[in-house]
Amino acid sequence: MKTNSDSNEIGIKNACKLCTPLGASLAFKGIKGAIPFLHGSQGCATYIRRYLISHYKEPMDIASSNFSEETAVFGGGANLKLGLSNITKQYEPVLIGVATTCLSETIGDDVPMFLDEYKKYDDGGQKSHLVHVSTASYRGTHRNGYNDAVKATVASLLNKVGKTVTDERQVNLFPGMVSPKDIRYLKEILSDFNLRFIVLPDYSETLDGGLWSEYQKIPDGGTDVSDILKMGNSSLSIEFGRILANEDSAGKFLESTFDVPCKSMGLPVGVKETDIFFKSLEGLAGMDTPEKYQGERARLIDSYVDGHKYVAGKKAFVFGDEELVVGLASFLSEIGIKPVLCATGGQSGLLKKKIMEVNPLFSEPDCIVSEGIDFVGIMDFAKMLKPDILLGSSKGYHIAREMELPLVRVGFPIHDRVGGSRVSHLGYRGAQELFDRIANALIETKQASSDVGYSYI
């Protein structure tokens, strides 16, 4: 398992990851009536807003305690309290998610103490739920910030709530950092199994909604706080993420505190991983998978056969968030494409192990697994391994351009195309769209590089 430390590079250049509070901000945008609040400098909030707006093409309000030089020396308690008061008055949020940045973490601000003081001495402190999550960017990635914010939300809101009666048909779903379109599809699936469900977070509308006639300070949509408070009564929690399965999570908190069983599984990308998800729902709902999804599965497998001659034996680079890289490695093993590099900026130490779990054809040195890598390192591998196709975010475009390779844009961020929020990754339906995109990208590249050109394949 290679990292940047294996090369002559001293530092990271163009990291293959994003900052921890960005992930936390995204998670809070999936809660109804919530406002993300970054305790740190204004620049952090501006950077994160720019990244999220560019991908989702939606307004993105993120509050900030607006550190100055003086604040960095004497602490940000006063700024935090003033900022919370202003946000409460102007937005009247149901929940404020307070995430720390590198600066406030480095100087050692005691944010829980500040929040307790604010609640006691400021009338506005009682109007909104306050959730705090520690998200220093020198510790982890956007994936960690996202998952930590979800866990902090559940733990904070359910801290004083007792378990009542278990609802045998209610399920909690923690989908991970997927697209709004994926979340809508997951909700459709759960509805078709006649299950009551709580999806956290749910930004399927807040970050991919309709046109407004008037500006909305807080967009409609998101998981209702009243539903989050009922999560302890569910009969099962499902969380997506084979890396997350080895880490603290909201699902494990509910299991240890409220005896709600937690079932961890990989992102349902492709047939095998999606089958695991549907089998779990069959057991919970006491019914077979609806014919609609059986049909999707059958058409997907048929397309694998139809398109096999275009994809079989091709070499791919997969890069991005660890969970998505694992899911894509599983999917590629199904369709006959060889992932010769699986790369991430994360450093869980688990990526190789999890890829071996989902890809029975994995072997070294045929596939290199690289954690903590940047795009300079990925480019070095590209020149050496000469892949046929890249799968990852827009941040890999310069490699695709220089190497004259097709790039199938998945995950986050997608800055140079419209529709990043509507890219499908999950389930049989998502795998169908992904397979078609990959096969067509390879066909298009072959056509473009042909001396004579052809219009029939």
Ranges of each domain in the chain: 20-157, 167-290, 293-449
Q: Is the pTM of this model over 0.85?
A: yes
358: Cβ–Cβ under 8 A, 6 or more apart, which residues?
242, 266, 272, 273, 326, 327, 329, 330, 333
**What is the spatial distance between Cα 438 and Cα 221, in angstroms, rounded to a whole number?**
32
The C-alpha atoms of residue 169 and residue 322 are separated, in whole angstroms, by 31
Cα Rg of the chain (Å, integer): 22
Residues 6+ apart with CB under 8 A from 268: 240, 274, 276, 277, 327, 426, 427
73: enclosing H helix or E strand: helix 69-74
> What is the C-alpha separation between 152 and 134, in angstroms, rounded?
9
Regarding beta strands 338-343 and 95-100, do their DSSP bridges make them parallel or antiparallel, or are they unpaired? unpaired
CA proximity to 269, closest of 341, 339, 218, 340: 339
Mean pLDDT, 10 residues at a time, the chain of 457 residues: 55 87 97 96 92 94 88 84 92 96 88 91 73 92 97 94 85 97 98 98 96 91 97 97 97 96 97 97 97 98 97 97 97 96 96 92 88 96 96 97 97 95 97 98 92 79
Domains 167-290 and 293-449 share a fold: yes
What pLDDT, on the 0 to 100 scale, is given for residue 68? 82
**H or E stretch at 187:** helix 180-192
**Nearest-angstrom CA–CA distance, 124 and 70:** 26
Length of the chain: 457
Enumerate residues 6+ apart whose C-beta is below 8 A from 318: 325, 328, 329, 332, 339, 341, 342, 343, 391, 392
Q: Which CATH architecture has domain 167-290?
A: 3-Layer(aba) Sandwich (3.40)
CA distance 170 to 209: 26
Looking at domain 293-449, its CATH architecture is 3-Layer(aba) Sandwich (3.40)
Q: How far apart are CA 453 and CA 451, in angstroms?
A: 6
Q: Before 201, cis peptide (omega within 30)?
A: yes
Strands (E), 356-429: 368-370, 389-392, 407-409
Q: Could you tell me the maximum CA-CA distance found in the chain, to the nearest angstrom? A: 77
CA-based nearest residue to 206, from 26, 1, 350: 26
Distance CA 37, CA 118 (A): 15
* Homologous superfamily of 20-157: Nitrogenase molybdenum iron protein domain (3.40.50.1980)
For position 197, what pLDDT does the model report?
98
